[in-house]
Structure 1
Amino acid sequence: MEYILEIDQLHKKYGGLTAVDHISFRIEKGHVYGILGPNGSGKSTTLGLVLNVVNPTSGTYRWFGGTVSTHDALKRIGAIIERPNFYPSMSAVQNLQLVCKIKGASPSRIDETLSLVGLLERKNSPFKTYSLGMKQRLAIASALLNEPEILILDEPTNGLDPQGIRAIRDIIKKIAEQGTTILLASHLLDEVEKVCTHVVVLRQGKMLYTGRVDEMNKNFGSVILDAEDRDRLIYFINQQNDLGSYEVGMEGIEVTLTREPDLASINKSAYEAGTILTKIVHKKQSLEDQFIELTKQNQ
């Protein structure tokens, strides 16, 4: 297993404030990782630490198995941790040509990266004519010029409208499909759920979870049941080992599942017990539900 980044007990204090509290996780090559948490949870500080722009109080991190220095590792990384900073009167191509000179990258990839982010047709337009979403896409293009092995993005969709958010998400997916590892920080649960394979959950600098998004909270969701005779249905629910607690609502009776659901079996068992179900719907727990439950457990 090849790890691009390994973090061990990384800790950062600003006076009496603990921004990052002894966190440890590893980033495996070829996946999309999200650092998820509300504002002030330590996401940006974590990125600053591993990009060598913030000095750790204690703890360590190493890039690419520790085989290269941090200085050399940064040459293999593409990162956007601040708002795009380009010359307003210069075109996209001119700005990227300047980035190539600074990075020592070949300008031969400019058109390719502009095409990837959907800006090829506007490559000769001045930067000042770009919308906020276009500016963010140009920043991503600039971060890809040196063909990085990992792309790091801090709140990549912050401030964008729904159309702009979707465009950035689609670009991230395209970059990942090409084999580039991605690490993004976000406070948006929906964003992490739609683009990330793995997640690190932070709250007040503490790490609450690290692992696959689809295994963040191992549960089986719930099932919404209804019948004309709800009293009989509730009695049936209480007799089933794989049906947990329930809550009566407008849509029916939502029941927590204790194992992988078999709706046909539930329907058959209810019928055999004298209850004819008028509704049976499996409801998977969203990442938002999981995140709220996780933070409740760790308060």
Structure 2
Amino acid sequence: METILQLKGLTKKFGSLTAVNNLSFDIQKGNVYGILGPNGSGKSTTLGIVLNVVNPTSGSFNWFDGTLNTHEALKKVGAIIESPNFYPSMSAEDNLKLVCKIKGIHTSRIDEVLETVNLLDRKKDHFKSYSLGMKQRLAIASALLNDPEILILDEPTNGLDPQGIHQIREIMKKIASEGMTILLASHLLDEVEKVCTHVVVIRKGVKLYSGPVDEMNATHGFFELKSESNSELKVFLENHPAIESYEEGETDIIKAILSKPYSAQLLNQESFDKDIVLTHLVQRKETLEEQFLKLTKEQ
């Protein structure tokens, strides 16, 4: 599989602050990658480095298996890392014509990209008449004008209402389904779970996880348990070969983490055989949010 972008030990320091700390990962063609982390975790700095607007302190990156220098490679990249910046009193179409002129590319794709972002019927309207969501969609259209091999988006749904968020996510899914590689920075777990195939989790500039989204979430799940005798239940869980660990919550519900697949029916029978009657038994799968919180908690 073709490697579009490779980061090797990338580090960026601003004085005593280390924004990006020895970051390494690869972006493979045809996937949707999410860089996931809290605000201030180094996501935007990382994107700034690979787009050549921020100089790294150490480490390196290369585009397209190193076959192109950064200047030439960026001609094959579409990116939005700042708020949309268009002329308010010009139409969407005229703004995109200007972008084409600045980038030295043909205007033939304007209608195509406007249709992709569902703005073709509003192409004659002034930019100032657009909602925030429409402005963001026009920015995506602008980034697609050069028919890039990868689209880079920094917090694309920031500040949008639920409808605007849904529209942007649907556009990302549509573009991805057509084979476009996407690199998306987000602090929203929901966004990454719904849109991305792969995720890089970072916190304070340090990589905590890199790989497929479904593998990050590929735990064996857990049981929620309660008994009239929780003390005996906890002894039972401590000695159970399928229970990795457990913790008791404020409502006396015990969360027992599984170390391997196990059925609720079998656990219920085993506890009953030891004279422990369960008054509550629910089997659950860990969400991406729970996985993320576990990762960041361990750091």
Relative to the length of structure 1, the TM-score reads 0.90
RMSD: 2.2
CA contact (8 A) 2:4 2:63 kept: yes
Cα deviation, 1:84-128, whole Å, max 9, x if unaligned, reads 011111111111122122223332222221122121221211110
Which residue type is aligned with residue 193 of structure 1? E
CA contact (8 A) 2:217 2:286 kept: no
Q: Which stretch shows the higher mean deviation, 191-200 or 262-271?
A: 262-271
| 1:166 matched residue in structure 2 | 166
| 2:287 matched residue in structure 1 | 286
Cα deviation, residue 232, structure 1: 6.5
Q: Give me the identity figure in percent.
A: 61
Cα deviation, residue 184, structure 1: 0.9
| Alpha-carbon distance in 2 for matches of 1:178, 1:251 | 49
2:259 is equivalent to residue 258 of structure 1 = yes
| Alpha-carbon distance in 2 for matches of 1:293, 1:237 | 21
Cα deviation, 1:146-182, whole Å, max 9, x if unaligned, reads 1111000011111111221111111111111110110
Cα deviation, 1:195-245, whole Å, max 9, x if unaligned, reads 111111222222222222222365322122356776665565455321332
Cα deviation, residue 247, structure 1: 2.1
CA contact (8 A) 1:217 1:294 kept: no
| Alpha-carbon distance in 2 for matches of 1:245, 1:279 | 15
| 2:248 matched residue in structure 1 | 247
Which residue type is aligned with residue 282 of structure 2? V
CA contact (8 A) 2:246 2:254 kept: no
Q: Counterpart of 1:83 in 2: which secondary structure?
A: coil
| Alpha-carbon distance in 2 for matches of 1:151, 1:13 | 26
| 1:65 matched residue in structure 2 | 65
2:279 is equivalent to residue 296 of structure 1 = no
Cα deviation, residue 287, structure 1: 2.0
Aligned residue pairs: how many?
Answer: 298
Q: Counterpart of 1:194 in 2: which secondary structure?
A: helix
| Alpha-carbon distance in 1 for matches of 2:194, 2:89 | 35
2:21 is equivalent to residue 21 of structure 1 = yes
Q: Counterpart of 2:72 in 1: which secondary structure?
A: helix
| 1:131 matched residue in structure 2 | 131
1:90-239 equivalence runs, <5 A: 90-216=90-216, 219-226=219-226, 236-239=236-239
CA contact (8 A) 1:114 1:138 kept: yes
Gaps of 5+ in 1: none
| Alpha-carbon distance in 2 for matches of 1:234, 1:59 | 48
Which residue type is aligned with residue 245 of structure 1? Y
Which residue type is aligned with residue 288 of structure 2? L
Q: Counterpart of 2:7 in 1: which secondary structure?
A: strand
| 1:10 matched residue in structure 2 | 10
Gaps of 5+ in 2: none
Cα deviation, residue 260, structure 1: 2.0
Cα deviation, 1:243-299, whole Å, max 9, x if unaligned, reads 33242554944322111232343344445555665654322222222222112212x
